[in-house]
């Protein structure tokens, strides 16, 4: 059974890059939902179960931290919630981890960076070998 | 502050172009000097503010539409002629977002700066010279024979 993924980013270009990276890495994706910001993401999560959320932090309407806070309050943070963000502030990233995010990938990213961190939580895609650890699960 | 920010901005531009857009920018200071007039056509302008208390730094980027089309095409895996004006603005804003985010990881060692959301627009023809004059300092690049400029203003 393939993954059900939700990509949350206000940039269509970035959502496209993330989706293509997942496909190129060989992850089996059954469904890939998209949301432009946290409010849209909540609507998607109301209607669909997902295995993985890949979310930006800086977004209009509802940012990634507010999305995590809302999900935490409702006790429904997906098990694999990973940030794909330009945010470099450790306090904000720690706050996100405290709310249930499992790690982060810094933009700009190499496809390998996203593959590695996702592999930790959903397993290796077919024919891929892990090398170094992901960039953002340890502070 | 200027020197550190300028160096970090240069590094950030180089990394974002190469990692996400598969292009190599070559710095060309002569370009900035020639931009004081209004000879350019209808360029695109992107801007993003970062703040720390009462301090504000505004970062701009400017490029002709031909380059922005190429950026959008590369990140969306489309042919340049198949990109829409919205694709161009979206790709340009995301590039600026990554440039400034990467810049802050270098200069903001104390996690004090707050980053705003990127904005972008098409400039009217012939006004890019006026637009670039807002910046207190500029860096300029040749990206596969197309110009790209970035600038900062702080207060």
Instruction: Give B55-96 pLDDT, tens digit per residue.
Output: 999 999 999 999 999 999 998 888 989 999 999 999 999 999
A12 and B108 within 8 Å at the Cβ level: the answer is: no
CB contacts of A16 in chain B (<8 Å) are: 75-77
- Please report residues of A whose CB lies closer than 8 A to that of B77: 16, 20
pLDDT digits (tens, 9 = 90+) for B111-139: 889 999 999 999 888 888 788 888 888 89
The ipTM (two decimal places) reads 0.83
Q: Is the pLDDT of residue B31 over 80?
A: no
Contact B87 A12 (CB under 8 A): yes
Q: B2-35+62-154, what's its fold?
A: Chemotaxis protein chec (3.40.1550)
- Position A135 scores a pLDDT of 52
**Is B108 in the A-facing interface, judged by CB distances under 8 Å?**
yes
Instruction: Give me the residue spans of the domains in chain B.
Output: 2-35+62-154
**B94 CB within 8 Å of a chain A CB:** yes
CB–CB of A16 and B115 under 8 A?
no
Instruction: Report which listed range, A80-84, A114-118, B19-23, is most confident.
Output: A80-84
Q: Which tens digit of pLDDT belongs to each residue from A9-67? A: 999 999 999 998 888 888 889 999 999 999 999 999 999 999 999 999 999 999 999 99
- Give the chain B residue whose CA is nearest to the CA of A15: B76
User: Binning pLDDT at 50, 70 and 90, where does residue A129 land?
Assistant: very low
Indicate yes or no: pTM above 0.90: no
User: pLDDT digit string (tens) for A89-115?
Assistant: 888 889 999 999 999 999 988 888 888
Q: Which residues contact A74 (CB under 8 A, 6 or more apart)?
A: none
Residue B34 has pLDDT above 80, yes or no: no
- The domain made up of A3-122 has a fold known as Rossmann fold (3.40.50)
Residue that the structure tokens 């269509």 belong to: A12
Query: Would the CB atoms of A58 and B97 count as touching at under 8 Å?
Result: yes
- Check residues B49 and A88 and name the one with the higher pLDDT: B49
Residue B22 Rama label (left phi>0; alpha psi -120 to 50; beta): left
Mutation site, B101, B113, B116, B117, interface A, largest A CB count within 10 A: B101
**pLDDT given at position B59:** 95
Evaluate whether B99 touches B12 at the Cβ level (below 8 Å): yes
Four-point Cα dihedral A36, A39, A44, A45, nearest 10: 130
CB nearest A108 (choices: B16, B90, B117)? B16
Which of A58, A89, A110 comes nearest B19 by C-beta? A110
């Amino acid at each position: 059974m393939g993954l059900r993924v939700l990509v949350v980013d206000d940039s269509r270009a970035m959502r496209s890059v993330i989706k293509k990276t997942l496909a190129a890495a060989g992850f089996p994706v059954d469904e890939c939902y998209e949301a432009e910001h946290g409010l849209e993401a909540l609507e998607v999560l109301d209607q669909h179960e997902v295995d993985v959320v890949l979310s930006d932090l800086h977004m209009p309407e509802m940012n990634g931290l507010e999305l995590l806070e809302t999900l935490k309050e409702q006790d429904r943070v997906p098990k694999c919630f990973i940030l794909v963000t330009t945010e470099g502030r450790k306090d904000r990233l720690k706050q996100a981890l405290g709310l249930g995010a499992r790690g982060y990938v810094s933009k700009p990213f190499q496809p390998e960076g996203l593959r590695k961190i996702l592999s930790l939580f959903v397993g290796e895609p077919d024919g891929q070998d892990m090398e170094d650890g992901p960039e953002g699960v340890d502070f | 502050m200027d020197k550190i920010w300028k160096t970090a901005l240069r590094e950030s531009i180089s990394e974002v172009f190469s990692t996400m857009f598969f292009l190599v920018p070559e710095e060309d200071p002569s370009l900035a000097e020639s931009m004081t007039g209004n000879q350019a056509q209808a360029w695109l302008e992107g801007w993003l503010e970062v703040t720390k208390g009462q301090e504000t730094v505004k970062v701009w980027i400017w490029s002709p539409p031909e380059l922005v089309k190429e950026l959008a095409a590369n990140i969306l895996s489309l042919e340049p002629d198949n990109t829409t004006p919205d694709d161009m603005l979206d790709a340009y804003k995301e590039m600026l977002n990554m440039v400034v985010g990467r810049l802050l990881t270098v200069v903001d060692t104390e996690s004090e700066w707050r980053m705003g959301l990127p904005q972008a627009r098409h400039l009217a023809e012939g006004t890019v010279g006026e637009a670039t004059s807002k910046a207190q300092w500029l860096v300029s690049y040749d990206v596969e024979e197309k110009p790209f400029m970035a600038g900062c203003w702080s207060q």
